[in-house]
Amino acid sequence: MEYSSMFSEYIIGLIDLKRSIGYKYQTEAIDLKRFDLFCRTHYPGMNVMSREIVLDWSKQRTGEHPSTQQGRVTPVRELAKYMISNGHQAFILPKGIVPKCPRYLPYIYSDDELKRIFFQIDQCHYCVEVPYRHYVMPLFFRLLYCCGLRLSEARTIKVKDVDMENGVITLTNTKLDKQRQIPMSVRLHERFITYCSNVHLCSKPDDWFFPGYKDKPMTLSNVEKNHRRFLWQAGISHCGRCRLGERGAPNVHSYRHTFAVHCLRGWVLEGKNTQAYLPVLQAYLGHVSYSDTAYYLHLTIDLFQDITTRLNNEFGDIIPKIGNPNDKGYEKSY
């Protein structure tokens, strides 16, 4: 990706720095490319990232979602900090100028919904173009729910990444490129063994574990398209884009959220020490921040009122509040 504004040297330096410490920094690089074009078009010859440039870039555009505005403003703030650290003058956009968005409320599948969805997934039939589809879909979606994987992590698993003897999956395409290992439950491991006997008897170590069209990994659009059909067949409506502060629509990533909430619910009902188990969930999900995992405590309480007292007694005030940051009484998540 090429940059040609007066700030191109620093943009390239920031991207290289972020990637050197583990960040993929792909979406941010695209936003910085747009900022580079913005500066070259509207402020040609300017060699100082002035207050005027930053405020002009940061103002909300017509029809722009607040989260989109926040997303393109953040890397420019990082760029200003990077420039200052390298002895160049720059204006850092103060916090609070761009309104903070209320935290996204994910959709959590109920036990009944999961039964209906997997019943429909199990009805997949043989397809000439994708001959292993009827084997792939039932196991792929069970993996998302049973192990709480991100879609990008599950799609890119290779045959060599699955230890069939011990029932452990090694994930390599993860956030921050931090490799982690995921042990499977006994029942899921049994399904993996059956799946391999049908799909991977003659496969090579570098073959995709979940082959799609022409033995390539399934695309994001293909997974989403199939999932929409499964939801429709299961009688679960997809309401599309939701308003700010509303609970999101059911989607593929909802299996990861549901996995986390159901884990916490199960541990509480089994009488386990949830404080001791929360770091385990954090490691299993691949969260860098403890607060990202603690966020699921609120969702668990919100959905299962019968265990509220027990969780409040264990965690008290560390359970993050969720809501609109502009509402009176709103508290940030820790």
Cβ neighbours for 17, distance < 8 A, ≥ 6 positions apart: 82
Q: What is the pLDDT of residues 59-75, one digit of tens each?
A: 999 888 788 898 999 99
Residue 291 to residue 289: CA distance in whole angstroms: 5
CATH number for the domain including 136?
A: 1.10.443.10
Q: What is the pLDDT of residue 306?
A: 63
Which residue type occupies 15? I
**Same domain (yes/no): 76, 126:** no
101 assigned to some structural domain:
no
In three-state secondary structure terms, 225 is helix
Q: Identify the band that residue 234 occupies on the pLDDT scale cut at 50, 70 and 90.
A: very high
C-alpha distances in Å from residue 82, one per residue of 1, 204, 255: 19, 45, 37
**Same domain (yes/no): 260, 205:** no
Q: What is the pLDDT of residues 39-57, one digit of tens each?
A: 999 999 899 999 999 999 9
**Same domain (yes/no): 118, 202:** yes
Q: Identify the band that residue 214 occupies on the pLDDT scale cut at 50, 70 and 90.
A: confident
**Same domain (yes/no): 270, 227:** no
Nearest to 266 by CA among 120, 111, 113: 111
126 assigned to some structural domain:
yes
Least confident of 70-79, 124-133, 186-195: 124-133
132 assigned to some structural domain:
yes
**Same domain (yes/no): 115, 229:** yes
Q: What is the pLDDT of residue 112?
A: 95
Q: What is the mean pLDDT of the chain?
A: 86
**Same domain (yes/no): 293, 211:** no
**Same domain (yes/no): 65, 166:** no
Least confident of 59-73, 110-124, 288-302: 288-302
Q: What is the pLDDT of residues 251-279, one digit of tens each?
A: 999 999 999 999 988 888 888 888 888 89
Helices (H), 208-253: 220-233
137 assigned to some structural domain:
yes
324 assigned to some structural domain:
no
Is residue 184 within 8 A of residue 154, CB to CB? The reply is no
Residue 330 has pLDDT above 70, yes or no: no
222 assigned to some structural domain:
yes
DSSP 100: P
Query: Average of pLDDT values for 212-222?
Result: 89
Residue 14 has pLDDT above 50, yes or no: yes
- What's the pTM value of the predicted model, to 2 decimals? 0.74
Domain interval for residue 145: 111-233
Query: Average of pLDDT values for 17-32?
Result: 90
Q: Give the rounded distance of the alpha carbon of 125 from its chain centre.
A: 30
93 assigned to some structural domain:
no
96 assigned to some structural domain:
no
**Same domain (yes/no): 119, 227:** yes
**Same domain (yes/no): 129, 214:** yes
Number of structural domains (the chain) is 3
**Same domain (yes/no): 213, 122:** yes
The percentage of residues in the chain with a pLDDT greater than 90, rounded to a whole number, is 57
**Same domain (yes/no): 122, 210:** yes
Residue 319 has pLDDT above 50, yes or no: no
Which secondary-structure segment (H or E) carries 40? helix 27-42
Residue 108 to residue 263: CA distance in whole angstroms: 12
**Same domain (yes/no): 145, 223:** yes
Least confident of 10-19, 173-182, 203-212: 173-182
